[in-house]
Amino acid sequence: MQDMQPSRPRNFCDSCAIRNRAICAELDEREIDLLNTIGRRRTLAAGEQLMWEGDEAVLVANVIEGVLKLSSHSADGKEQILGLVYPSDFLGRPFGETSPYGVEALTEAQICVFERADFDHFAREHPRLEHKLLERTLGELDRTRRWMLLLGRMNAEQKVASFLLEMADRLGNGVAGAQTSLILPVSRQQIADVLGLTIETVSRQLTRLRSAGAIELPSRREIILRDRADLEQRAG
């Protein structure tokens, strides 16, 4: 009778929805198996904090599902949203000692989380991952610089239109010529904080876009992009 071998533990990387877009995309099967041994899946509830600004950087993570925010606080305690994080984005500071920002889930989120020390060691031993990490970091830096430059020169309408287009694209809903239904993971106050506007200005611009036929507002969080070409023109 042939001996029965124990079944191989399920590799959560095998079923990862964002594997081909994540930082580990260039790894081969052997490297993926090794990475799987140091990572774990974690579910975050909306409002749950993953990292705290200024704390020791003990974790890094890939976002699989959901949207999270990066934020910092001024000396008087006021929160400033630095950006939003979407599926396939990478969180944390590899090879760093402290976290430069806080990370909070805006929606229920699934992440693949690693102890930073384990990830740092793995990256040093696997140059393709280290290269991908550098490539991703530089790409995010370029995107942040472009966004800051554009926001500095945009009027309120351009800012709101650009925000809606980026949100649709990053959530995988940016389809040219098609109506796109978008559930915003952020409140209007948070949109205002990101864009450097007041909540009244954001609400006024959304109403104007609705009146112009560019969007519909079925509810406070749901937005339907009816005319993407019009939004793109308004965004400049």
How big is the chain by its Cα radius of gyration, in Å?
20
Domain 29-150 adopts which CATH fold?
Answer: Jelly Rolls (2.60.120)
Start and end residues for every CATH 1.10.10.10 domain found in the chain: 155-235
> Under CATH, which architecture does the 155-235 domain have?
Orthogonal Bundle (1.10)
pLDDT score at 3: 41
Q: How confident is the model at residue 20 (pLDDT cuts 50, 70, 90)?
A: confident
Given a cut of 80, whether residue 197 has pLDDT beyond it is yes
Three-state SS at 9: coil
Mean pLDDT calculated for residue range 149-167? 87
Contact in structure between 221 and 160 (CB atoms under 8 Å): no
Calculate the average pLDDT of the chain: 83
Mean pLDDT calculated for residue range 211-225? 92
Given a cut of 80, whether residue 167 has pLDDT beyond it is yes
pLDDT score at 2: 40
Start and end residues for every CATH 2.60.120.10 domain found in the chain: 29-150
pLDDT score at 172: 59
pLDDT score at 212: 95
As a whole number of angstroms, the distance between CA 117 and CA 94 comes to 8
Q: How is residue 11 written in tokens? A: 């590799």
Q: How confident is the model at residue 63 (pLDDT cuts 50, 70, 90)?
A: very high
Q: Which has more confidence, 140 or 169?
A: 169
> Per-residue pLDDT tens for 87-131?
888 888 888 888 888 999 988 999 999 999 998 888 888 887 877
Secondary structure E strands in 66-194: 68-73, 79-85, 90-91, 102-105, 109-115, 180-183
Given a cut of 80, whether residue 176 has pLDDT beyond it is no
pLDDT score at 152: 76
